[in-house]
Structure 1
Amino acid sequence: MKKRLLLLVSLGWIFNYAHRMAVPPLIPMIRAELGINNAEAGLLMTALLLPYAVVQVPAGYIGDRIGRKRLLVMSIIGYSLSSALILFARQYWELLAVRALYGVFSGLYYAPATALISEVYRERKGSALGFFMIGPPVGSGIAPIIAAPIALALEWRYAFVLLSGMSLLIGLALAFAVRGEVSRPSRVRLSLPGNVYLLSAANFIVLAAFFGLLTFLVSFLVSYGVSIRRASMLFSLLSLVGVAGSLFGGALYDRIGRRSVSLVFGLNAFLTLVLALSASPWVILPLGLTFYSVGAIVTAYASEKATSENLGSVMGFVNMVGFFGATVGPYIMGLLIDSLGYRAAFLSVPAMYALALGIMGLEEKIGEGGFSRT
């Protein structure tokens, strides 16, 4: 039962990401049709990430109250149906509204899912969360593989309709294949420990960097003469290598604990600097390994800061703050590209990872981590 649960919850997370990351490879087509600039294209990510961030803490608390599996099923069905509404969006503001609605339902997923997995797997939570966190790389990787061919053959909106049908099946499978509530605490508290704030600040910065880079990676490569088809394949390659990165991150956390946070922040700062300066496709392979390891590591470390009574609230808070960063990241990156060009704009990414690394060093120095397995 545990393996079936982990598989289905992870599939729901994969399609949660596939819907949101179907936009980046389609940005050139969307810009051409709607006549928008890069900053406005960045807002297509911001529109979903802002409501996504806002509902994180309520999602964690509600999942603890009504049952985490129940809320996950509601989230999958909701984000599937709302994403399909893109078929009817013809104006820019309509597209923003649909993406925002999708953001609300997709935001109900992460906190109850990670709390559920942390409770069910306990001592092996790093490895289990590492498997769960293959969602971002796999979802981001399959998004252009599904979206680009459909967009070229039909119209870009139909890519979201197909994704919606696929994810809806996952929601129904989770509802009927896993019976009853698996993880529901006897007591629930909406409270936050003081040692969670520096980690949350670092998460804000790295998710701003993460989504800023991913949103414009295809456009960045195209600006250096790479065809849109090859650039989309490199985007998928980054994400597919990230599957190994997520598993690596979970295993690394189980082995060395909080030190893995600083390690991957430093590696990402170096590799994104190489990418910004060279635009070399060869950096995609090592970057995929470290880029996607962050999610599993930060998630596992955040769970160590909570008790069973406030686990959902803590997981939701760390992710909420992180996704406020994700909300502003694509828009700021778009503004930097419009004003400074791609290379200068992409240099902001290693600077952000370096800043997050400094924050984690400060956390260790002042002893707010409260973590004994270092």
Structure 2
Amino acid sequence: MNDEKSKFHIPKIPMIIWVQLILLAVGYAFYSANRLSFSVGLKAIAAQLALTPIEVGTIGTIFTLGQAIIDIPAGYLADRFGRKRLLVSSMIFLGIMTAIVTKASDAIQVGLARTIFGMAEGIWNIVMYSVAGSIFPAARAMLNGLMMTFYSIGAYVGPAYYGYSLSATGDWTHGLLNMGLVTALFGALLYFGFRKKYTDSSTDVKGMNLIEAIKTVGTNKIVWLAILIQILNIVPYWGFASMGPYLFMTFKGFSAAEAGQFFGMVYGIGGLSGVILGFLADKFGRKPTIVALALLNTICGILVFHFIPKASILLYIVGAIMGIGLHAIYVLGYTIAQDGVSHKQIGLATGLVGASSYFLSFFSGPFMGWLTSTWGHMIALDIVVVTFEATLVFIAFIMKETQKKHPIVLNEK
């Protein structure tokens, strides 16, 4: 019996489109290097500025507030006025803000710089996933996974480089300044690499009124399912990413270099399986993939926090495995939202999911800081990471499958 629905074929993508996808992916590596390296310096920043744990948690996640503010406008404006323009400008600006934060002299200046940084990276994040998610709907999860694979490269290289720089110089500004300047230069070069014909393939949203578009997408049940899934994963994702290095260096005796290596493994090496897991989610469905990964995250969190000693290589291995689940579910949250809307609403749906989840993830930092001050760092990790991921297992188990079958056809003009 020849059942076409049971088959999945990797589409043949022209070289010029691969070039666009690779540029997006490399840009995502720069993006993740900038966003994740900052947390490695939090202990040094806290010492220099005399910050409390709640203040440390706040500046650690405040960039997500900036991202929440910009995500919905970014998705709509990119579809309406041009994705290439926003991709180039946002990459330049996030590099500039990484450099500028090194000139801050108090917590308010650091927080303001990181908030603006979050707005710049929020534009890149939403527009990038809109482009990757609209080129080939039949391979949407796989291509979104390609983006996450390169994100993971930056997420390892950035913190590892910055951790060694901080350990060698004792100066938290040195590595960030270099990283920001190189990123801004790369952003300028993207202007010559991106082709508007391919990045701006979805322009029919120009005929939509913003309020009408938000109403249509905002009442979509699948979009709200995606938001719930994203929240239950992104709160532990960013709570651990922002406060984890500070907590591990303060309470577990990690050096800056060790913290950079470990969290580079979690948020870098752990996400390199994005393409494979995206392929599996396209082949077998979103639901079983999320159930398995959320369960994996829960188990790994318990092992890392309670059972595996610092000196064991197993800590790094389990951390990387945990990173696989955190990254893959992050991508699938956007993918599910894209499953539930029309082609012309992909940018806005992606923005709505990003805005909602990042707004709540902002509170994970100060919440972890408060829990640490009140109940201790282990309770903070268990509540924000383990409990949220365990809840996601249940939600994913009872959800309905969202994936639709798409014909794999390339329309060239």
Instruction: Note the alpha carbon deviations across 1:122-168, whole angstroms, 9 max, x for none.
Output: 32222211110124422321222222233342621222221112212
Matches of 1:242 and 1:319, distance apart in 2 = 21
Q: Which segment drifts farther, 181-190 or 330-339?
A: 181-190
Matches of 2:333 and 2:256, distance apart in 1 = 33
Question: How many angstroms does 1:237 deviate by?
Answer: 2.0
Distance 1:48 1:371, change over 3 A: same
Distance 1:72 1:154, change over 3 A: same
Q: Bigger radius of gyration, 1 or 2? A: 2
TM-score of the pair, normalised by structure 2: 0.84
Instruction: Note the alpha carbon deviations across 1:6-52, whole angstroms, 9 max, x for none.
Output: 11111222222222212211111111101102211111133211011
Q: How does 1:1-374 map to 2 (within 5 A)?
A: 1-151=16-166, 152-153=168-169, 155-182=171-198, 183-188=200-205, 189=208, 190=213, 191-192=216-217, 193-222=220-249, 223-259=251-287, 260-280=289-309, 281=315, 282-348=317-383, 349-364=385-400, 370-372=402-404
Matches of 1:240 and 1:84, distance apart in 2 = 22
Q: Secondary structure at the match of 2:342?
A: coil
Question: How many angstroms does 1:200 deviate by?
Answer: 0.3
Matches of 2:403 and 2:266, distance apart in 1 = 32
Matches of 2:254 and 2:91, distance apart in 1 = 35
Unaligned runs of 5+ in 1: none
Matches of 2:271 and 2:229, distance apart in 1 = 23
Q: Give the equivalent residue in structure 1 for 2:10.
A: none
Q: Which amino acid in 1 is paired with 2:369?
A: G
Q: Which amino acid in 2 is paired with 1:236?
A: G
Matches of 2:20 and 2:404, distance apart in 1 = 30
Question: How many angstroms does 1:117 deviate by?
Answer: 1.1
Q: Secondary structure at the match of 2:123?
A: coil
Q: Which amino acid in 2 is paired with 1:195?
A: I
Instruction: Note the alpha carbon deviations across 1:145-196, whole angstroms, 9 max, x for none.
Output: 2222333426212222211122123212221022334233242142312321
Q: Secondary structure at the match of 1:62?
A: helix
After superposition, the CA RMSD in angstroms is 2.0
Q: Which amino acid in 1 is paired with 2:328?
A: S
Q: Which amino acid in 2 is paired with 1:350?
A: V
Matches of 1:224 and 1:3, distance apart in 2 = 44
Q: Which amino acid in 2 is paired with 1:305?
A: G
Q: Which amino acid in 2 is paired with 1:224?
A: K
Q: Which amino acid in 2 is paired with 1:216?
A: M
Does the CA contact (< 8 Å) of 1:204 and 1:324 recur in 2?
no
Identity %: 20
Unaligned runs of 5+ in 2: 1-15, 310-314, 406-413
Q: Give the equivalent residue in structure 1 for 2:409.
A: none
Q: Which segment drifts farther, 135-144 or 309-318?
A: 135-144
Q: Secondary structure at the match of 2:171?
A: coil
Question: How many angstroms does 1:370 deviate by?
Answer: 4.6
Distance 1:138 1:331, change over 3 A: farther
Does the CA contact (< 8 Å) of 2:152 and 2:267 recur in 1?
yes
Does the CA contact (< 8 Å) of 1:56 and 1:107 recur in 2?
yes
State how many pairs are aligned.
369
Does the CA contact (< 8 Å) of 1:56 and 1:317 recur in 2?
yes
Does the CA contact (< 8 Å) of 2:94 and 2:120 recur in 1?
yes
Does the CA contact (< 8 Å) of 1:204 and 1:325 recur in 2?
yes
Distance 1:21 1:81, change over 3 A: same
Matches of 1:63 and 1:186, distance apart in 2 = 9
Matches of 2:374 and 2:75, distance apart in 1 = 39
Instruction: Note the alpha carbon deviations across 1:253-305, whole angstroms, 9 max, x for none.
Output: 12212221222112212211222222541522322322222223223222111
TM-score of the pair, normalised by structure 1: 0.92
Matches of 1:187 and 1:232, distance apart in 2 = 44
Q: Which amino acid in 2 is paired with 1:205?
A: L
Matches of 2:127 and 2:260, distance apart in 1 = 32
Q: Give the equivalent residue in structure 1 for 2:3.
A: none
